[in-house]
Amino acid sequence: MKSLSVAMVAMALIGAAPMSICSAQTSGDKPISLIVPFSPGGGTDILSRMLAPKLAEKLGTSVVVENRPGAAGAIAAQAVARSAPDGRTLLVGSTSEIGVNPSLYPKLPYDVGRDFAPVAALADTPMVLVVHPTSPIKRAQDLVSLAKANPGKLLFASAGVGSGAHLAAELFFHVTGTKLSHVPYKGVGPAMAEIIGAQKDMMIFTTLPSSTSFAKSGQLRVVAVSSKERMSIVPDIPTFIESGVPGYEVYYWYGLLVPSATPIDIRRRIHAAVNEVLGQPDTLANLARQGLQPNVRTAEEFDAFIKADMARWAVVVKAADIKPDQ
């Protein structure tokens, strides 16, 4: 890769007082579906299940989480793009399928600008390097030393080609002058399970929320975090920067999108409901415990951010020469 500096900002939202979405719908008994592009256990899934019951209360209808993993998020994104524009099917989008996929896959079954309307930014989180507890890698510099001594022989997992985990790893390789062999999975959950079980020598760059429970149980070990400063949820874990990897500051974002034809009044109601939920003290506390950081953005600012994010990751994908068949 050419010289890159990636410090992704994240988003939340603002809006008017929430109203029942059912007031604009004839299908009041139909639940709202939050479509998660990855398997259970990953950061997107954790955040979605945290917010679903609170959104149900604000929107006056049930909210369910549906996991549709595969194709680095393209399966879920396509499903939402083709769904009825009635505010009942929402994509829990993220860096992967919205920010990265458009530059990685020339024939995506969806077009971000044409098929989606950004509704509400949710949160962001830093990435972490995670290994098995028996791994000799205890510091970021340990990985650098091992990788340089064994070029291409060490393995790293990801939630799929072009996923946040994949891109975070590629940036690390660029910054440190190292290279590991990529093993993509259909989601963070399966990748983590493999590291815990059969692939104890493998590692993964993943989001802080997806690693928290495994680290607390002692099944995995968090080596370093990609935030500028240490996170309160893992105060003993050093940043990559203080571990001798200057410039390595990366964040993964989450947000809600709906089919582009969804009426503006429905989008505003969802936006307002999410804004209220994210402002609740218990929600803020739960987000902090998971290593998530909410921020305030309007829907228009969220839309502008997505466009800038797509352009930013296009540079990374090109510089790293990432191909879908890697």
The whole-model pTM stands at: 0.77
Q: CA-CA distance, 136 to 146, in Å (whole number)?
A: 9
Q: What is the pLDDT of residue 28?
A: 54
The tens digit of pLDDT for each residue in 32-75 reads 999 999 889 888 999 999 999 999 999 999 999 999 998 878 99
Q: CA-CA distance, 277 to 227, in Å (whole number)?
A: 25
Q: Give, in order, the Cα–Cα distances in Å from 254 to each of 85, 95, 143, 251.
A: 21, 7, 28, 10
What percent of the chain lies above the pLDDT cut of 90?
A: 65
Q: What is the pLDDT of residue 163?
A: 80
Q: CA-CA distance, 305 to 302, in Å (whole number)?
A: 5
Residue type, 184: P
Q: In this structure, which CATH number among 3.40.190.10, 3.90.230.10, 3.30.1490.100, 2.40.50.140 belongs to the domain 126-225? A: 3.40.190.10
The tens digit of pLDDT for each residue in 183-206 reads 998 888 899 999 999 788 899 999
Domain span(s) for CATH 3.40.190.150 in the chain: 21-124+252-320
Q: CA-CA distance, 243 to 71, in Å (whole number)?
A: 34
Instruction: Give φ, ψ of 51 to 5 degrees.
Output: -90, -25
Q: CA-CA distance, 278 to 13, in Å (whole number)?
A: 8
The tens digit of pLDDT for each residue in 135-156 reads 999 999 999 999 999 998 999 9
Domain span(s) for CATH 3.40.190.10 in the chain: 126-225
Segment 222-228 mean pLDDT: 95
- How would CATH label the architecture of 21-124+252-320? 3-Layer(aba) Sandwich (3.40)
Confidence of residue 124 (pLDDT cuts 50, 70, 90): very high
Whether 4 has a pLDDT exceeding 70, the answer reads: no
Q: Which of 90, 85, 93, 82 is closest to 27 using CA atoms?
A: 85
